Amino acid sequence: MKHSVAKRLLQLAVGLAISVFFIWLSLREVALGNVFDALEQADLRYLAPYLAILVAIHFCRTLRWGILLEPIGKPTFDRLNLASAVGFMGLVVMPFRLGEFARPLLIAEHGKIRSSAAMGSIVVERVVDGLAMALVLFVALFFSTPVTSDPSQLAWARRGGVVVFCIFLVILFFSALAYAKREFAVGLVRRLTTPISSKLADKLAEMLDAFIGGLRLVPDRRKIALFFAMTLAYWAMNGFGLQLLALGFGLDLDVAAAFTILGLLVIGVMIPAGPGMLGTFQGAIILGTELFFPGEAFKSAVFAYAWVVWAAQFGQQVLFGLYYVVRGRVSLSRLWQPAPEPDAEPKSEPEPTAPGGAL
C-alpha cells in the first residue's frame, strides 16, 4: 500500500514538473497583463455554443464506445455514461493519462464485462483516433496556408504528424498480427522483455493475451460502419468547435487551419504531464494557432484562446464526472486504484459470430 501511494506521489510530482516546464515555455514570451486584456476584449458569447458542442462530443464519444462493448456485455446507457463521465474526468485530473484505466475499471465493476475486454475496446479507440488525427493533421497541413515566419514551427508540426502516424500504424500492424497470430504475438512480447525482467515479461504477456481476447470480440459490419461514422462526427465537431470559439478572439480560422490545430493538440496531450494536461495542452494550441496568426499583434489573443479552450474542456469533463461523484454513485478513490488486472478469458467462451459475417 505504501509503495503504491509513493508511486502515485512520484508520478504526480514528475507530471507537475513537466506541466510547469511547458507553461513556462509557452508564457515566457508574452506579458500576462496583455493576455488578461485579450480575455476582457474577447467576445465570450461564442463560449456557450462551444460548450454545447463539447456536450454533444461527450455523448457521441460515449455511444461510440458502447458500440465496441456491445459484443461483450451491452451495458445500460446509465452505466456507460457513468463510466465515460468519471473516466474522462479521471483522464484530465490524473497525471500521465492514468485515467485511461478508469473506464474499463468502472464499466466492469457492476456487470459481466471483463476488464481485459473493456481495456481492449480502449486500445481500439486509441489506435483509430491516433491514426485518424495523424492523417487529418497531414492532410490539413497540405491544404492549409500557414503564414508563420518561423519555418521551424511548421517543420515541427509536419514531423509530429508523420511520427504519430507511424507510431499508430505500427500499433495497428501489431494489433492485426496479434489478432491473427495470438500465440506468436504473446510469445514475441515475452521473448523481447525477458532479458529485461522475467517478471515484467510474464506480466506483459498475460496482459497482451487478455487484451487480444477483448479485441477479438468485434461487432458486426453495420456496427463497425456506425462506429467509424461516429468517429467522423466526433472529430468534425471537435474541429468545428475550435474554429467557432476562435472567432471570439478575432482569429478567423479556415477549416484546414482548425483541423491543423486539432491534430497538433492531439499530439500535444499525448506527452505525459501533470493533472489537467496543463502546459502540454496550451502549448499545442498555441503552436498550432501561431502557424496562422504569427507575430506580436496576435500573441495575446492566441494565448487567451488557448487557455479558454483548455478551461472549457477541463470544466465540462470534470463537471460531468463530479455529477456521479456527488450523487454517491462512485468514489473518487476508484480513480487512484491500480490498473485492472488482466482477467482470464473463459475457456468455454465460443468465438463470437457477427451477424452478417465477421469483420
The residue-averaged pLDDT of 130-159 equals 76
CA 34/CA 352 separation, integer angstroms:
59
CA 201/CA 207 separation, integer angstroms:
10
Cα dihedral 22, 28, 29, 30 sign: positive
Q: Give the model's pLDDT for residue 192.
A: 84
Q: Which three cell numbers stand for residue 330?
A: 462512485
Tell me which residue of 290, 235, 226, 283 sits closest to 262, measured CA to CA.
Answer: 235
The residue-averaged pLDDT of 347-359 equals 35
Please say if the pLDDT value at position 57 is more than 90: yes
Q: What angle, 0 to 180 degrees and rounded to 10, lies between the N-to-C axes of helices 2-27 and 296-326?
A: 150
Q: Give me Rg for the CA atoms of the chain.
A: 21
Q: Give the model's pLDDT for residue 218.
A: 60
- Other Cβ atoms less than 10 A from the Cβ of 139: the count is 15
Please say if the pLDDT value at position 262 is more than 70: yes
Please say if the pLDDT value at position 52 is more than 90: yes
Please say if the pLDDT value at position 43 is more than 60: yes
Of 11 and 64, the structure prediction assigns the larger pLDDT to 64
Greatest mean pLDDT range, 17-21, 113-117, 307-311: 307-311
Amino acid sitting at position 55: V
Comparing 139-148, 179-188, 213-222, the range with the smallest average pLDDT is 213-222
Tell me which residue of 166, 189, 167 sits closest to 177, measured CA to CA.
Answer: 189
Please say if the pLDDT value at position 167 is more than 90: no
CA 297/CA 319 separation, integer angstroms:
35
Please say if the pLDDT value at position 248 is more than 80: yes
Please say if the pLDDT value at position 272 is more than 50: yes
Q: How far is CA 255 from CA 99, 133, 260, 292, in A?
A: 31, 14, 9, 12
Comparing 10-14, 31-35, 265-269, the range with the smallest average pLDDT is 10-14
Q: Where are the domains of the chain?
A: 2-27+49-336
Q: How far is CA 18 from CA 15, 25, 31, 271, in A?
A: 5, 11, 22, 9
Please say if the pLDDT value at position 344 is more than 60: no
Tell me which residue of 161, 91, 151 sits closest to 122, measured CA to CA.
Answer: 91
Comparing 23-27, 78-82, 200-204, the range with the smallest average pLDDT is 200-204
CA 215/CA 127 separation, integer angstroms:
12
Of 255 and 341, the structure prediction assigns the larger pLDDT to 255
Pair 89, 141: CB distance under 8 Å: no
Q: Give the model's pLDDT for residue 339.
A: 52
Break the chain down into helix, strand, coil percent, rounded to 5: 75, 0, 25
Pair 130, 269: CB distance under 8 Å: no
The residue-averaged pLDDT of 280-299 equals 89
Q: Does residue 138 sit in helix, strand or coil?
A: helix
Q: Which three cell numbers stand for residue 83?
A: 463510466
Please say if the pLDDT value at position 355 is more than 60: no
List pLDDT tens digits, range 300-342.
999 999 999 999 999 999 999 999 999 988 877 766 655 555 4
The answer for residues whose C-beta is within 8 angstroms of residue 229's C-beta and 6 or more apart is: none
Comparing 39-53, 102-116, 169-183, 222-236, the range with the smallest average pLDDT is 102-116
Greatest mean pLDDT range, 65-69, 198-202, 273-277: 65-69
CA 74/CA 174 separation, integer angstroms:
27
Q: Give the model's pLDDT for residue 350.
A: 38
The residue-averaged pLDDT of 174-179 equals 78
Q: Give the model's pLDDT for residue 97.
A: 72
